[in-house]
């Protein structure tokens, strides 16, 4: 059996930000505690996945993002800041309310 080795064509620069945004929610506990287990249609983790998909590949994060949690309701998140930490671009949002 022949062993194949992968070679890195270029080194990774940890000072250069990644092209993928990493989501951080600064009030995650408040968001999770806002859910009534009977009243919601989509799990809070599905809402967070929606938020992440809307944030992940954008250079300029939107100021306000709405994510659907039931047919006639949305969750509102507000952009707080973005920073580079060890080469990772971290985008922070704040849960505002269900509308």
**CA angle centred on 21, ends 17 and 26, rounded to 5°:** 115
- Give the residue-averaged pLDDT of 42-57: 93
Answer yes or no: is pLDDT of 10 > 50. Answer: no
Domain boundaries, the chain: 21-98
Question: What's the pLDDT tens digit per position in 18-34?
Answer: 678 999 999 999 999 99
Residue 2 pLDDT class (50, 70, 90 cuts):
low
């Amino acid at each position: 059996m022949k062993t194949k080795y992968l070679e890195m064509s270029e080194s990774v620069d940890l000072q250069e930000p990644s092209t993928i945004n990493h989501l951080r929610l600064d009030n995650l506990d408040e968001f999770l505690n806002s859910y009534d287990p009977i009243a919601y249609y989509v799990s809070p983790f599905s809402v967070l996945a929606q938020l992440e998909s809307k944030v992940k590949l954008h250079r300029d994060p939107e100021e306000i993002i709405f994510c659907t949690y039931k047919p006639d309701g949305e969750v509102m998140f507000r952009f707080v800041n973005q920073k580079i930490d060890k080469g990772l671009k971290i985008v922070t949002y704040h849960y505002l309310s269900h509308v």
